[in-house]
A = this chain, B = another copy of it.
């Protein structure tokens, strides 16, 4: 809200939003170009939050800040398209563990590759030094956010 506009200086919200949106758009387009046409932006959260050893649905829901019912649906869809595998959790028979399938790993790598390319392009334009400063700043803020969240 009220974050933008060429005329007066942009607020931090818009400063973060515009590059983030741009990168999301590029990931979408890049995945489509590579033939992954059955994944929509909503499904990205599954890939964003799943751990390499696999995650529970409840855990994914929590990390993505949505209800477990909604996450359950997303996982179902993504699993049905072959990007996920699911197995019962041996320690807790109520739960199941979802992890990326080989196809899932492949999209994930494709997405990483796209992001890497975008970073490189931007880095070429603004300079490696400024890009590094930017990343350091973002990491510092993320650490602050994580502290806030942990002792909320």
Q: With an 8 A cutoff between CB atoms, is A80 at the interface? A: no
Q: Which of A3-17 contact B (CB under 8 A)?
A: 3-5, 7, 10-17
Q: With an 8 A cutoff between CB atoms, is A142 at the interface? A: yes
Is the pair A47, B1 in contact by a Cβ cutoff of 8 Å?
yes
Stretch touching chain B among A69-77, A85-93, A110-118: A110-118
Determine the chain B residues whose CB is within 8 A of the CB of A42 once the complex forms. Answer: none
Q: With an 8 A cutoff between CB atoms, is A140 at the interface? A: yes
Q: With an 8 A cutoff between CB atoms, is A33 at the interface? A: no
Determine the chain B residues whose CB is within 8 A of the CB of A7 once the complex forms. Answer: 52
Q: List 16 A-B contacts (CB under 8 A).
A: A1-B108, A1-B111, A1-B112, A2-B108, A2-B111, A4-B48, A5-B51, A5-B52, A11-B116, A13-B23, A19-B138, A121-B144, A122-B144, A125-B140, A126-B137, A126-B140
| Interface bracket on A | 35 or more
Is the pair B11, A112 in contact by a Cβ cutoff of 8 Å?
yes
Residues of A at the B interface (CB closer than 8 Å) are: 1-5, 7, 10-25, 27, 44, 47-49, 51-52, 65, 107-109, 111-112, 115-116, 118-119, 121-122, 125-126, 130-131, 133-142, 144-145
Closest residue of B by beta carbon distance from A113: B2
Q: Which one of B2, B17, B21, B44 lies within 8 Å of A47 (CB-CB)?
A: B2
For the complex of A and B, list the 8 residue pairs with the smallest distance between their C-beta atoms, beginning with the closest: A134-B137, A1-B111, A15-B138, A1-B47, A2-B108, A16-B20, A126-B140, A125-B144
